[in-house]
Amino acid sequence: MIKKYTYFSLLFVALFFLSSFKKEEIKLDGTWRFEIDRNDEGVAGKWYNKNLSDAIKLPGSMAQFLKGDEITLKTKWTGSIYDSSYYYMPRLAKYRQPGNIHIPFWLTPAKHYVGAAWYQKEVNIPANWTGKRVLLHLERTHIETRVWINDKEVGLRNSLVAPHVYDLSPYLAAGKQRISIRIDNRIKEINVGPDSHSITDHTQGNWNGIIGKIALESGSLVYIDDIQIYPDVKNRKARVKITINNSTQNQFSGKISIAAKSFNSKESDETQEITSSLSVSKQEEKSIELELPFGNRMLTWNEFNPALYHLEAKLFSKETSDAKIVQFGMREFKIKENQFLINDVPVFLRGTVHNCEFPLTGYPAATVEAWTKIFKIIKKHGLNHVRFHSWCPPEAAFIAADKIGLYLQPEGPSWPNHGPKIGLGQPVDQYLYDETMRMAKEYGNYASFVMLSAGNEPAGKQVEYLNQFVDFWKAKDSRRVYTGMTVGGSWPVVPNAEYQARGGVRGLKWDKMPETESDFSTGIAPFKVPFVAHEIGQYCVFPNFEEIKKYKGVYRAKNFEMFRQDLEDHKMGNQAKDFLNASGKLQVLCYKNEIEKILRTPGYAGFQMLGLQDFPGQGTALVGVLDAFFQEKGYVSAQEYARFCNETVPLAKISKFVYTNAETFNAAIVLSHSGKEPLKDAVINWTIKNEKGTILSSGSFEPKTFENGNGLFAGNIDFSLSGITAASKLNLEVKIKDTVFANDWNFWVYPEKNIEIPSSVYYTTELDDKAKEVLQNGGKVFLNASGKVIKGKEVEMHFLPVFWNTSWFKMRPPHVTGMLIQDKSPAFKDFPTSFHSDLQWWEIQNRSQVMNLEDFPADFRPLVQPIDTWFMNRRLALVFEAQAGKGKIIVSSANIGPDMVNKPAAKQLFFSLIKYMDSDKFNPKSILDFEVIKDVFVSPSHEVFNTYTKDSPDELKPNSNQNKVK
């Protein structure tokens, strides 16, 4: 029988409930006795019966309290090391010495230990707990736990995603009781993969300890074990499934009631209380479903209005009572064809990957405050989605995301590759089902939990296994959408996946001239379900050595320290900050262009960057505009980033970015819009300005309404460039009137002209005897050395920066991550440039040779300096000037000269340099011997990268022998 109670009936029941039962908790935070069990002798030696010899504080980890071993070259890490050159490279020998170990692969913990360790505490159990159910709650312990009460073993738990909970009722008595916990962080029978972010040293570290809530909880022997809420937004109701457990020897007869009330929004709403009679047989578990109706004031949850409810369930009879409160949101996250829908409104996912980066503790945060801070930063950068790469965060993350309004994709805690494989009957097969079941039970009610992936980039019989995995979850729980695993573009497609989170349709094709007209329509066309781009970006930036001082916790940035010292050894230590900022500006440019290309693509469903923040492992992957602390590095702000990454973004389709003044600049303006409602009667304004801020042209388009979608046409811009008489950098800015949404693009215009080389300058493509003679006689030489470089020939420069990092991919090109340009030099008076690579440099920089200046004076600085990978730190040049003999010389390894065809930027740079050489301002400070210059074109580099090993990451060879099914 279900009926609606009157106000007075509800009041009576509430008063009875509160007076009849109150849950109690004993927190176990604080000092625990502790001992390391290196030889696995604790169980046989009955350590649970002795006082352990050491002490530690919990919550926390062993490394946090300096328990474990010193780092040596023989430390057995959890994680793959593919670039073994560190162990052999002569110049790194000093970093392999005892007392000066600097590991380049990831951050270095204060101490390291993998194995069993024991934790022990004595607790006074109150007399009034007799006859009650007592649970031991261990939140986020790593990895396997075994528990003893006094000399009785309670059991074993193994979960990387959920609390380890033990029912201690049969083992406890009133008075002093000893709790002993054995924690083992080794990879044992269940192998999720050593590079899985749930366990690996690449990210959080393979820590040993307990880092969340640790408590004893007493409660009724008849209790609410689980509540799962299934919203039905369209019909204004929720289906509430409640599991009740009767652990007594008597039948339970009573009632259960549910009611929900909003708690975090300006508007408020609450339901009536629904009550039902209930009986549960002795020693039985029973499930009941109740329908909870909502009224006209029902609040829905999304990223814009993350309205939440608390549902309170009460179980009561004359003898006993129990209660449980659950946070949830009224939302439905569905799929329609190739779109995601939140409450029937199309939503585009703008995401980043969270890899479990916690550089102060080495383990994930377990507080709502910590996650709220992270998620606010993510949203401030215009994002609405987070993927958790091969790990699932603690409950605090879901609570925070619910309140902030973020869409989450946690994953099964596995990267079943580099060892384990799926679909072959290995323990990981069942473990992924078990773990995702635990995730659904613990976190399934949180509104932010909208997507689920089984893990990352598997090996094995993956299609068969993942098809079954997706089918299982689609049938079991409709509250979220499911994919197989999140994979790169070379992995096979899982046909049954509800959405595809994969690579293959991403990146910038900047081997050709940069433009913003193309999109990814052809790439996503074969997919009839939503396509979410996997790990876009991965554009590297030079290390920020000022970050080193932030490492005041468990980890030290020994990798950064090594890179910094190596840069100093290569005589460039004073350029570190300039390298950071110059490479950072290029990094932002690349993220902007890739994100905009996705936003131009109709039908694209979302992207997952790798990442907004740096990844501290896998060779040190500095791919974020934020560091591993989620803090800015100084070269772009969140507000600047959100101009091209937001719910609404103006976009410009531009065929090229370098023009002559004989041309017309054309741009088609389009929008990407993923708002809570259509953009109604939007007026779009545009301006074209020069560097002085002078408006050269402006306009607006007729008001128009834009539904949610990508690549929505707004209007065209045509601007004649004939009035531009000097080399200029111009800027197109597009704004949506009366909103914060704006975006802009630089483009360059050069006067159309023929270049005549002044008689005072000898132009040559060979450093020949005549060049030497001219210099000896006090003349001026311009050497176009394109294609002639020997010293530096091994360094490959593209316009795009280093991908991920050169260590993880064993020096796969490109090796250069942008350029540092002496933009204040009069050499660039007629070639407007910033201090960093920008799009006008593409035709000059891309695929050009670089010169290795290893034999040049220590303080020599070129006009244009490519920034080498920080694993090598070679001093490089694209253009340099010097005094040589009695004369002066400019050398360029980029192909710039008087006869450039269809390369207006290269032609203009040459003009600017030649004009500079013909002026009295051409007075290089550095003096070079002619033979030192000539040696660049004669002798190879002294220092050349050697891998010393032949293996490579699986990502480069997914069909390799180690990935073949055996």
Residue 4, beta-bridge partner list: 274
Instruction: For residue 27, count other CB atoms closer than 10 A to its CB.
Output: 11
Q: How many CB atoms lie within 10 A of CB 130?
A: 12
Instruction: Using the Cα atoms of residue 711, residue 713, residue 715 and residue 719 in order, give the sign of their dihedral.
Output: positive
Place of tokens 């073994």: 84
Q: Specify the 3-state DSSP secondary structure of 288.
A: strand
Q: pLDDT tens digits, residue range 63-120? A: 999 999 999 999 999 998 888 889 999 999 999 999 999 999 999 999 999 999 999 9
| Statement: residue 21 has pLDDT above 80 | no
Give the mean pLDDT of the chain.
Answer: 95
CA 9 to CA 5: how far, in whole Å?
6
At residue 803, the pLDDT reads 96
At residue 6, the pLDDT reads: 40
With a cut of 80, say whether residue 324 has pLDDT above it.
yes
Helix runs in 487-575, H state only? 521-524, 558-569
* Under 8 Å between Cβ of 144 and 188: yes
Query: What does the alpha-carbon distance between residue 256 and residue 279 come to, in Å, rounded to a whole number?
Result: 10
Helix (H) or strand (E) holding 935: helix 930-935
Quick one: what percent of the chain has pLDDT higher than 70? 96
**Helix (H), strand (E), coil (C) string for 38-105:** CCCCCCCCCHHHCCCCEEEEECEECHHHCCCECCCCCCCCCCCCCCHHHHCCHHHHHHHCCCCCCCCC
The count of other CB atoms within 10 Å of the CB of residue 293 is: 14
Token readout for 551 is 């490492």
Return the residue matching tokens 């970015």.
657
Q: Which three-class secondary structure state does DSSP give residue 698?
A: strand
* pLDDT of the residue at 799: 98
Region of residue 885 (left: phi > 0; alpha: psi -120 to 50; beta: else): left
How confident is the model over 328-365, as pLDDT tens digits? 999 999 999 999 999 999 999 999 999 999 999 999 99
What predicted TM-score, i.e. pTM, was given to this entire model?
0.95
Q: 949: pLDDT confidence band, cut at 50, 70 and 90?
A: confident
Contact, 167 vs 157, CB < 8 A?
no
154 contacts 138 by C-beta, under 8 angstroms? no
Q: How far is CA 123 from CA 29, 128, 174, 215, 565, in A?
A: 12, 15, 10, 11, 51
Select the more confidently predicted residue: 84 or 577.
Answer: 577
The pLDDT tens digits of the residues spanning 255-311 come to: 999 999 999 999 999 999 999 999 999 999 999 999 999 999 999 999 999 999 999
Closest CA to 697 of 661, 670, 734, 725: 734
Is 381:642 a contact under the CB 8 Å cutoff?
yes
CB 651 within 8 Å of CB 516 = yes
The first and second tokens of residue 438, run together, are: 């635990």
Checking if the pLDDT of 531 tops 70, the result is yes
Write down how long the chain is. 966
Looking at residue 278, its amino acid is L
Contact assessment for residue 383 and residue 350, using Cβ atoms and an 8 Å cutoff: yes
Cβ neighbours for 300, distance < 8 A, ≥ 6 positions apart? 233, 307, 329, 330, 331, 343
Q: Give the pLDDT confidence of 115-150 residue by residue, as tens digits.
A: 999 999 999 999 999 999 999 999 999 999 999 999
Which residues are registered as beta bridge partners of 387?
353, 409
Contact, 698 vs 688, CB < 8 A? Answer: yes
397 sits in which H/E element? helix 395-404
DSSP 647-660: SEEEEEE-S-SEEE
Q: Which of 80-89, 588-597, 947-956 shows the lowest per-residue confidence on average (mean pLDDT)?
A: 947-956
Mean pLDDT for the stretch of residues 508-521: 96
CA dist., res. 52 & res. 45, Å (int)? 12
Residue 32: Cβ within 10 Å count: 24
One-letter amino acid for residue 877 of the chain: A
Structure confidence by residue, pLDDT tens digits, 376-431 = 999 999 999 999 999 999 999 999 999 999 999 999 999 999 889 999 999 999 99
Q: How far apart, in whole angstroms, are the C-alpha atoms of residue 202 and residue 194?
A: 9
The answer to whether residue 955 scores a pLDDT higher than 90 is no
**Collapsed DSSP state (helix, strand, coil) of residue 468:** helix
Nearest one of 783, 738, 827 to 928, comparing CA atoms:
783
Q: What is the pLDDT of residues 463-472, one digit of tens each?
A: 999 999 999 9
- The closest alpha carbon to 868, from 811, 822, 926, 906, belongs to 811
How far is C-alpha 811 from the chain's CA centre? 23
- Residue in 249, 255, 248, 245 with CA at minimum distance from that of residue 223: 245
The residue among 316, 279, 272, 309 whose CA lies nearest residue 293 is 272
Q: Is the pLDDT of residue 951 over 70?
A: no
* Contact criterion met (CB below 8 Å) for 142 and 119: no
